[in-house]
Amino acid sequence: MSYLNIENLSKQYDEKNIALKQVGFSLGKGEVVSVLGESGSGKSTLLKIIAGLETQDEGRVFLADEKILNPSEKLVAGYDEIKLIHQQYKLYLNSTVEENIGRPLLLYDKEYRKERVEEILEMLNLSDFRHKYPKQLSGGQQQKVAIGRALSIEPEVLLLDEPFSSLDTIQKRVLIEELRHIFVDSEMTVVFVTHDLDDALLMSKKLFILKSGELVQHGSPKEIFRNPKNLYTAQLFSHLNPLPQNEGAYLRPSDVKIEESGLLKAEIITAQYLIHYTQLTVRLEESGVVWKIEDQERLYKKGDVIQLSFLEDNIISFEKSGENVLA
């Protein structure tokens, strides 16, 4: 059953700045999803409208059966049930971790406030840092405090606007995995927006792809990877190798095999050592087309001539190869 309903949202700031075009989808209670797109695709605007902090031109948002009113319809914008967390932590620098988390609860019963703060500290593994100030914390710990403060008043929906962009890769990976488990265990409905595919895959099992304000595809990572609806979506997952003399048809590097029986002969131009394989840049002998492929065994080097093969089922095709290409 749908819980958060986004119906045909459109937003245009001026003639040249169209943020959203008829964006709509529904989420079940406790569902965690990622909205993926490049800068300027409308991700932040979408979250602000869902939170009731931005006025849309068209469309509606419902949380359960309640319509979310925008600033033009509500005297005090926003809802306690929906919390938006930005890239900036916005912590009180002269307040401890414990005090920061408890700030939204100042008007609540003292005993409830104490119990809720303790619950949040334990949930986010921040109990040992309760008396520390923000400047004494790592970036990941500061972000957890910001999230803890948002969770303190028990919101129904959490909106994350690229909150991990300032963290290093290791910090980010650990924090995302930790938070994902917390969200699932607490049955929190979460919309996480990012431009980083790896972050999106770590956070959720369902992706929504935005491009220039339009929802161009949604589904599981596997569905989108194997059946992208356009070149833009396909390129989010990997480089694409164009098939010679077959406009609009492509192969992913992982779907090209190095085999002695292969029908395509190619010369290796460069060999780059990556974490899980050596990436080979090769030039096809007959057509001169340049491809990228994966050498899983790390057997080949620049200048080697190899034979390549692929399965017809792995070809990705689009009607017009020039549309929706990533810059």
| Cα 126 to Cα 179: distance, rounded to the nearest angstrom | 13
2-226 and 251-317 agree in CATH topology: no
Specify the pTM.
0.89
CATH class name, domain 251-317:
mainly beta
Q: Which tokens hold the place of 197?
A: 């595919």
Cα three-residue angle 69-200-118, rounded to 5 degrees: 70
The mean pLDDT value for 97-109 works out to: 95
Looking at residue 315, what is its pLDDT?
Answer: 95
pLDDT, tens only, 195-232 = 999 999 999 999 999 999 999 999 999 999 999 999 99
Q: Which tokens hold the place of 265?
A: 């002969």
| Cα 237 to Cα 71: distance, rounded to the nearest angstrom | 37
Are the beta carbons of 23 and 213 closer than 8 angstroms?
A: yes
Residue 187 is classified by DSSP as T
For the chain, give every domain's residue range: 2-226, 251-317
Looking at residue 128, what is its pLDDT?
Answer: 96
The domain made up of 2-226 has a fold known as: Rossmann fold (3.40.50)
Q: Find tokens 């790592």 and name the residue.
A: 138
Are the beta carbons of 24 and 215 closer than 8 angstroms?
A: yes
| Cα 158 to Cα 176: distance, rounded to the nearest angstrom | 14
| Cα 317 to Cα 182: distance, rounded to the nearest angstrom | 40
pLDDT, tens only, 172-187 = 999 999 999 999 999 9
User: DSSP 3-state assignment of 45?
Assistant: helix
